[in-house]
Structure 1
C-alpha cells in the first residue's frame, strides 16, 4: 500500500502549487467525531449527520504546504476507527 500512497503524493505534488487550499472529505461514525475534529483543531468544518445519526460527513478546506503534509493528515485520520476518507 505504500506504493499507492507514494504515487498519490507524487500526483498531488504534480497538480498543486504549494502552499494551497486542499479539500478533505470524510465519513466517520458519529461517536468518533471528536477524534476527527481534534485532528483539525480550530479549523472550520462542515458537518452533516446521517439520517439515522450513526455517521457524520465532514468537509473542510485546509491550507497545506505539500503532498507529504496531505498524506500525513490522511495517515493520522486513518487511525480513527470506522473513518472513510473520500
Structure 2
C-alpha cells in the first residue's frame, strides 16, 4: 500500500458549495498531511494502536475536519468549513 487521502463519505458530499480557491488550499494541505502521516507511520499497515481522533486544521481562514487511519495508510477528510463570504 501507499499513503493517500480521500473524502468521506464522498467528494461530492464534502465539497458541495465550497469555493474553488478554498478547495485548492484544502487539497494542498491534505497532501501535506499525507506526507506527515507517511513519515510518522513508516509501515502503517502494521500499526496496532487504536487510531487517531478527529482533528481540525485551519486552512485559508476555513476549517478541515480529518483523521488518519494508519492501517489503511489513509488521511480522511470528513468536513470542510469554508471561510465566511463578505
Q: Structure 1 length as normaliser, TM-score?
A: 0.34
Q: Structure 2 length as normaliser, TM-score?
A: 0.34
In proportion to residue count, which structure has more helix?
A: 1
